[in-house]
Amino acid sequence: MPDAPMFAARAHIALRDIRLQAAVRNVTGQMVDGRRRALTDLTDPEGVREIARAIRYRSVERLPDLLDHWATNLEARGGQVHWATDAGEAVAAVRGIVRRRGARLVVKGKSMASEEIHLNEALEADGVEVLETDLGEYIIQLAHEPPAHIIVPAIHKDRNDVAALFTTDAGRPIPPDIPAEAAYARARLRNAFLTADVGISGVNFAVADTGSICLVTNEGNGRMVSSVPPVHIAIMGMERIVASWAELDVMLALLARSATGQRLTSYTNVITGPRQEGELDGPEELHVIVLDAGRVGILGSEFREVLDCIRCGACLNVCPVYRHVGGHAYGSVYPGPIGAVLTPLLRPDESESRELAHASSLCGACVEVCPVGIPLVDMLLGLRRRDAADIGPVKRAGFSAWSALWSSRLGFASTRIAAKAVLPLARHARGGPGWAGAWLQTRTLPGGPRRRATGGRKGRR
Amino acid sequence: MTDKEVFISRLRHAAAVRVVPPRRALVAVDAVPPRVEFAIDTEGVDVFEAALSAVGGTVHRAADLVAARAVVGEVIGTRSPVVLGCEPDVAALELEGQRWPHCGLRAAAEAAVTVVGCVAMVAVTGSVVVDARLARGRSISLLPPVCVVVARSSQLVASPGDVLRHREDFWPGRVPSQVVFITGPSRSADIEMTLTRGVHGPGELHVVVVDG
C-alpha cells in the first residue's frame, strides 16, 4: 500500500457513518435480490452471459471498424460525431456546440462519461446553467457531491437529507416525504426541459449497423433531454458499441436484469439521428462525442477485457468492500470492483488511483455476477503485480527473504513457532506507528493455535 | 487526415501492438447471435398484462373500437386537457381533445392525458413500442402525466428480440429517429430505494388492448 492511504482514510470516515452503512446495505441488498430473481426469467442465464461476453469481446476487438461503420451511418442520418482523444477535447467539443447555439441552459441526463471529463464545471465557468435531471443526480448536484453509485447516485442520502436540500433549493419548506420530493423535482425540472437550449445524455450502447445510440432510463429524463431541447449531445465512452440490433437484443436482456432486476427499464430508447424529414418533433441537431480519455492504452494490454463492461453496477452491489464503505471512499468516478480496475487504468499517472487495486478482498463475488464475465480478480492482481514492480529495494529484499524462508519445510515450521510467541503481542501494535500498525488496522490476527489439530476423523461421525 | 481517421488509426495501432487473447475461451457466436430463450410464458395478452401490471401499468381489454372508446373515456374521466395522437385507431375513437401535432409542444406539455397508438406490444416485458415516425412524435407519449396507449391484440410479440431482430418488418428501409420500448410508468427509486412513479415521464400508463 502507498504510504498515504487516501482510500483507507475515506473508508474510515464511511465506516463510522451508520446511516450510510444502512442505506448502502438496503440498496445493494435489494438489487442483489432483484438481479437473482430477474435472471430466472431466462432458460439459460449462464449461456446468455457467455454469448454476451463473446459479443462484447468481439466488439472491442473490431472497435476501429465498428466505430467507422457506426459513424458513417450516423452521419448519413444527419448526426455529427466528434472524436475526443482526451477529456479536454471532449469538453472543448461540447463547449463549442453550446457557444455556437448561444445556449444559456443545459439539461443533463445521467452520464458517467460526462463525470469523467468534469463537464459541468467547464460549462458553468462559461456562464451556462447546467441542471442534472436524474432525481438522484439532481440531489447530489444540490449537495455539491459526486455520484456514490453508478445506478443510484444518491444512495447515501435519505429523505431528510433530500428535504433539507430541496427546501433550500425551493426557498420554501419541502417535507421529508418521498412522493412530495419527487413531485418537487418533477415540477422544478419540467420547465427546464421545455426551455433548455441543449440536452446532454450518456450512451448505453451504440449500434453500428444503423448508426444508432441506445439510452436506458427509468425516470424519462433521458427521453426528455434527447427529445425536447433543439440540440442533443450524447457523450459515449468509445468502447460502448455493438454491431447490430440482434446483438443489442442480447445485451438488453442482461443490462436491466443485472443492474436493477428489471426486465427492461421503463424507457429503452433507440435514437437514430436528429429529427428526420417529415418528423414533427425531436432535436434539430444530434452530436455524439466519442471519448477515448485513456481507453486506448487499455486496448492492447492484458486488461483489455475491462472494456467489455456494460456499466450495470452488479459488481458494486455484491462487493463486500463497496457494501461497507460506499462509493465516495473510492474517490473516483467509477467505484466498486469495476472502478478499482478501471480507475488506475484510465489514470495511470495518479498514485492515488493505484491504491484502489488494494480495495478488494479478492473474494470473486464480482466475477460471479458480471454479465460479460470480466475477470476482475485477475485484473486486480495484475494491477497489484504491476505496482509491485516499483516497491523499492528494502521491501523487495524483505519479500525475497520471506519467500526463501517459506520455501523450506523447516523454515515454515520455524515461523509457526515464532508466530505463536509473537501474535498475541502483535495485536497490540494495531493503530501503532509504521506500516505494521497500518496493516493491522484493517486485519484481525488469529491468536495462534490453542491446541494441536486432532485430525479430521473425530468431526465426521 | 480527418479527426475520425486520426482517432481510428490510433485504435488500430494500439490494438495491434499486442494481441491479447481472452483469459477464458469464448463461445462461438454467429454474426446474428442466437435468440434469447425464456423460461417464463411468452405468449398471449395475459402474459403481457401480468408483466405490465408487475411494473405498475394497467391493461384494459376491449372487444372492438366502440368498447375501447368507452374504456378510454373512463380512464380520462374528468381530466383535461386531452391530447390525441394521430394514429388511425386513436382518431377512430372520436374522442374530445386537441390533436397532435397541430396542437404543438406546449399543449402536449400542459395536457393532463394523452392517447396514442403503438408499433408493438411485448409480452415478456409488458412493453409497448412507440416510435417518432412522421407525425407520431417523440414528446407526446412522454410529457403528460397520464398516457393511454391503444393497441391491437395482433400487435403482440413475445420478446424484445421479435422487434429488434425484425427491424425491417416494422420499419422497412429506414428506422425512425427514435424507437422507445416503454415498460410501465416513469419510475425512480433514487431516494431510499423507495419506488416513486411519474418523476419525469407519465406516472400512469394504461394500455387498451383491442381485439383484432
Establish whether this prediction's ipTM goes over 0.90.
Answer: yes
pLDDT confidence of residue A415: 82
pLDDT confidence of residue B192: 85
Q: Over the stretch A331-378, which tens digit does the pLDDT of each residue have?
A: 888 999 999 999 999 988 887 788 899 989 999 999 999 999 999 999
Query: How distant, in Å, are the alpha carbons of A167, A173, A263, B139, B176 from that of B122?
Result: 41, 43, 11, 21, 19
Window 10-69 of B, Cβ < 8 Å to A: 10-12, 14-20, 22-24, 26-29, 31-40, 51, 55
pLDDT confidence of residue B163: 98
pLDDT confidence of residue A459: 42
The 8-class DSSP code of residue B152 comes to E
Chain A CB contacts of B179 below 8 Å: 269-270, 272
Which residue is associated with the grid cell 467505484? A335
pLDDT band at A426 (very low <50, low <70, confident <90, very high): low
CA A418 to chain centre: 44
CA distance B83 to B116: 9
φ, ψ at A56 (rounded to 5°): -65, -40
What cell does B111 get? Answer: 395536457
Average pLDDT value for residue range A80-85: 98
CA distance B116 to B131: 11
pLDDT band at A460 (very low <50, low <70, confident <90, very high): very low
pLDDT confidence of residue B7: 97
Considering CB atoms only, which of B134, B167, B199 is closest to A220? B199
**Three-state secondary structure readout of A317-355:** HHCHHHHHHCCHHHCCCCCHHHHHHHHHHHCCCCHHHHH
With CB atoms and an 8 Å threshold, state whether A53 touches B36: no
Query: How distant, in Å, are the alpha carbons of A29, A261, A398 from that of A23?
Result: 10, 18, 42
Chain A CB contacts of B36 below 8 Å: 42, 48, 249-250, 253
User: What CA dihedral angle connects A416, A418, A424 and A430, to 10 degrees?
Assistant: -100
CA distance A185 to A162: 11
What cell does A13 get? Answer: 470516515
> How large a percentage of chain A has pLDDT more than 90?
67
| Domains within chain A, CATH numbers bracketed | 42-293 (3.40.50.10420), 393-440 (no CATH)
pLDDT confidence of residue A20: 83
pLDDT confidence of residue A1: 37
pLDDT confidence of residue A393: 82
Name A422's Cβ contacts closer than 8 Å, sequence gap at least 6: none
CA A276 to chain centre: 34
Helix (H) or strand (E) holding A83: strand A80-84
pLDDT confidence of residue B15: 79
Closest by CA to A326, choosing from A140, A451, A458, is: A140
Closest CA–CA distance from residue B54 to any residue of chain A (Å): 10
Query: How distant, in Å, are the alpha carbons of B59, B77, B108, B150 from that of B83?
Result: 20, 14, 6, 14
Q: Are A267 and B129 in contact (CB under 8 A)?
A: no
Strands B178-182 and A267-271, sheet pairing: antiparallel
Q: Domain ranges in chain B?
A: 43-210
pLDDT confidence of residue A432: 65
pLDDT band at A4 (very low <50, low <70, confident <90, very high): very low
pLDDT band at A411 (very low <50, low <70, confident <90, very high): confident
Query: How distant, in Å, are the alpha carbons of A384, A399, A402 from that of A393?
Result: 17, 10, 14
Chain A CB contacts of B190 below 8 Å: 134-136, 139, 152-154
Phi-psi region of A264 (alpha: psi -120 to 50; beta: other; left: phi over 0): beta
- Does residue A265 belong to the interface with chain B, where contact is any CB pair within 8 Å? yes
pTM, two decimal places? 0.91
Q: Over the stretch A447-457, which tens digit does the pLDDT of each residue have?
A: 555 555 554 44
User: What CA dihedral angle connects B197, B202, B204 and B208, to 10 degrees?
Assistant: -150
Task: State chain A's mean pLDDT as an integer.
Answer: 90
Closest by CA to A365, choosing from A48, A28, A57, A112, is: A28
Q: Which amino acid is at A408?
A: S
Which residue is associated with the grid cell 425512480? B188
CA distance A325 to A14: 5
Q: Are A275 and B196 in contact (CB under 8 A)?
A: no
Which residue is associated with the grid cell 433514487? B190
pLDDT band at A216 (very low <50, low <70, confident <90, very high): very high
Q: Are A99 and A126 in contact (CB under 8 A)?
A: yes
pLDDT confidence of residue A332: 86
Window 105-124 of B, Cβ < 8 Å to A: 105-106, 109, 124
What cell does B53 get? Answer: 401490471
Ranges in chain B, pLDDT < 70: none
CATH number, span B43-210: 3.40.50.10420
Helix (H) or strand (E) holding A380: helix A376-388
**Three-state secondary structure readout of A98-146:** HHHCCCCEEEECCCHHHHHCCHHHHHHHCCCEEEECCHHHHHHHHCCCC
Closest by CA to A309, choosing from A260, A369, A371, is: A371
pLDDT confidence of residue A73: 98
For residue A247, pLDDT over 90 is answered with yes
Q: Are A318 and A365 in contact (CB under 8 A)?
A: yes
Chain B CB contacts of A86 below 8 Å: none
pLDDT band at A141 (very low <50, low <70, confident <90, very high): very high
pLDDT band at A175 (very low <50, low <70, confident <90, very high): very high
User: B36, B140, B204: which to substitute to probe chain A, counting the most A Cβ within 10 Å?
Assistant: B36
pLDDT confidence of residue B169: 97
pLDDT confidence of residue A179: 93
CA distance A85 to A96: 16
Strands B127-131 and B120-122, sheet pairing: antiparallel
Window 19-38 of A, Cβ < 8 Å to B: 23, 26-27, 30
Q: Output the DSSP codes for B183-206.
A: -SS-EE-TTTT--EE-SSS-SEEE
pLDDT confidence of residue A421: 75
Closest by CA to B147, choosing from B65, B52, B62, B211, is: B52
What cell does A223 get? Answer: 427521453
CA distance A79 to A203: 14
Closest by CA to B85, choosing from B73, B69, B97, is: B97
What cell does B45 get? Answer: 395478452
Chain B CB contacts of A152 below 8 Å: 189-190, 193
Crossing angle for the helix pair A159-170 and A135-142, nearest 10 degrees? 70
Name A111's Cβ contacts closer than 8 Å, sequence gap at least 6: A200, A201, A202, A203, A235
